[in-house]
Amino acid sequence: MTDQFERNLQKYAELVIKVGINLQPDQQLILRAPVEAVPLARNLVIEAYKAGAKYVHVFFSDEVMTRIRYQYAPRDSFEFFPQWFADALTSMAKEGAGVLSVVAADPELLKDQDPELISIARKASAQKMRAFSELLGKDFAPWTVIGAAAPAWANKVFAHLPEEDRAPALWDAIFHICRVDQPDPVAAWKMHTENLVRRSAYMTEKQYVALKYSGPGTDLTVGLPENHVWMGGYGKLPDGTPFTANIPTEEIFTLPHKDRVDGVVRATLPLNLNGNLVEDFQFRFEAGKGVEVHAARGEDVLKKLLETDEGAVHLGEVALVPQSSPIAQTGGLFYNTLYDENASCHLALGRAYRTSLAGGEHMSEEDFSAAGGNDSLIHVDFMVGAPEMNIDGVWADGGTEPVFRQGEWAFEV
């Protein structure tokens, strides 16, 4: 690798620790990463200890071994997930440890594997990790998800390039999208997140009762619960310390009312679902429930996802991203939700973030549900934005005003 690459890798790691996790002195850090990301992981550990970390707990994974399990493990073993691992992460998160996840998934890792086994394994993991996921969903501990280039992922994204150029091209894209190539990435990110915070505050103040989506294959009304909160840029811990959950992030988001979604919506980008690509798919919703789904590819995998639990067929997030976002402007498809969701307006099936409803993190499950919040073992984003997309905010009296026009914000802040 070149000296410039090494400098960018260090700047990327510094950005993630300072702006992503915003690691504080004497704080622990959980780092989960694929084996392909060892060079980045080492830089992250360096920056964490420079920031005063008490200890960095590193957990590496290997996709090849994941595929081996599906090829050779007994069928009845897929309901197992190690309790010790879930307990360890939950315990550390309760103590306020930062949680940093590096993703570099092969978009087609499990394309030839049994969808039923994939569904069973996903559900087993989600059930055992539920307490951990709920802590993060309530912003009890700082958490950040970032990307790292890996050969299998790069081969899919940059298939048109010579093989030896693909991973470097993906790294260059990651550095550009994450503003690492700017003179002061940390300052650039703070300016960017403040803009998202201003847009979130504007939308929260509006308190629309619904959003009306109109676009190619989409005619959808998404009800919004009373006292919903738009979020974006950064989240805050209970003590007010900020952190950035996704790097990159270009979205502002809130929760929909789980029982007030009606119409049809067509996905505008493929969805990478646990190593299976789902393409050209559409949902029809009635009274909040997804009652019909069709996909040109991966329909069986998508339907298995919807069978996870009762909340899996309802929406848990609505997010707004302009077509002018740096990721959308690359004109490419990343086959990775972290990147593709920040190139497009999107919705999410499943669990809502408690912090998207005023006081939601302190509500009982019953009260949160009564207020319109959805609960599920899953939270899966799918992209619906397009240059032709128009979105209107709907008032209680039925009046409307533009929020998006032709894929871009219809207001300035």
- Residue 172 sits in a domain whose CATH number is 3.40.1830.10
Q: Do 252 and 213 fall into the same domain?
A: yes
Q: Do 117 and 247 fall into the same domain?
A: no
Q: Do 261 and 380 fall into the same domain?
A: yes
Q: Do 128 and 255 fall into the same domain?
A: no
271: in domain: yes
pLDDT of residue 288: 98
48: in domain: yes
Main-chain phi, psi angles of 322, to 5 degrees: -75, 155
- Number of CB atoms found within 10 A of residue 226's CB: 12
Q: Which domain holds residue 125?
A: 3-177
CA 195/CA 185 separation, integer angstroms: 16
pLDDT of residue 275: 84
82: in domain: yes
196: in domain: no
95: in domain: yes
Point out the domain boundary residue: 137, 162, 177.
Answer: 177
CA–CA distances in Å: residue 379 to residues 21, 137, 211, 347 = 21, 11, 20, 10
Q: Do 173 and 209 fall into the same domain?
A: no
CA 276/CA 296 separation, integer angstroms: 13
Q: Do 114 and 235 fall into the same domain?
A: no
Three-state DSSP string of the chain? CCHHHHHHHHHHHHHHHHHHHCCCCCCEEEEEEEHHHHHHHHHHHHHHHHCCCCEEEEEEECHHHHHHHHHHCCHHHCCCCCHHHHHHHHHHHHCCCEEEEEECCCCCCCCCCCHHHHHHHHHHHHHHCHHHHHHHHCCCCCEEEEECCCHHHHHHHCCCCCHHHHHHHHHHHHHHHCCCCCCCHHHHHHHHHHHHHHHHHHHHHHCCCEEEEEECCEEEEEECCCCECCEECCEECCCCCEECCECCCCCEEECCCCCCEEEEEECCCCEEECCEEEEEEEEEEECCEEEEEEEEECHHHHHHHHCCCHHHHCEEEEEECCCCCHHHHCCCCCCCHHHHHHHCCEEEEECCCHHHECCHHHCCHHHHHHCCCCCCCCEEEEECCCCCCEEEEECCCCCEEEEEECCEECCCC
Per-residue confidence in pLDDT tens, the chain, 413 aa:
789 999 999 999 999 999 999 999 999 999 999 999 999 999 999 999 999 999 999 999 999 999 999 999 999 999 999 999 999 999 999 999 999 999 999 999 998 899 999 999 999 999 999 999 999 989 999 999 999 999 999 999 999 999 999 999 999 999 999 999 999 999 999 999 999 999 999 999 999 999 999 999 999 999 999 999 999 999 999 999 999 999 999 999 999 999 999 999 999 999 999 888 999 999 999 999 999 999 999 999 999 999 999 999 999 999 999 999 999 988 888 999 899 989 999 999 999 999 999 999 999 999 999 999 999 999 999 999 999 999 999 999 999 999 999 999 999 88
Q: Do 41 and 169 fall into the same domain?
A: yes
Count of the separate structural domains present in the chain: 2
Q: Evaluate whether 37 touches 101 at the Cβ level (below 8 Å).
A: no
pTM above threshold 0.85:
yes
Q: Do 221 and 262 fall into the same domain?
A: yes
pLDDT of residue 332: 86
193: in domain: no
Q: Evaluate whether 344 touches 384 at the Cβ level (below 8 Å).
A: yes
C-alpha 156 chain-centroid distance? 20
Q: Do 216 and 365 fall into the same domain?
A: yes
197 is written with which tokens?
Answer: 């915070």
pLDDT of residue 402: 98
192: in domain: no
Q: Do 111 and 255 fall into the same domain?
A: no
Q: Do 211 and 173 fall into the same domain?
A: no
77: in domain: yes
pLDDT of residue 236: 92
pLDDT of residue 386: 94
413 is written with which tokens?
Answer: 């802040």
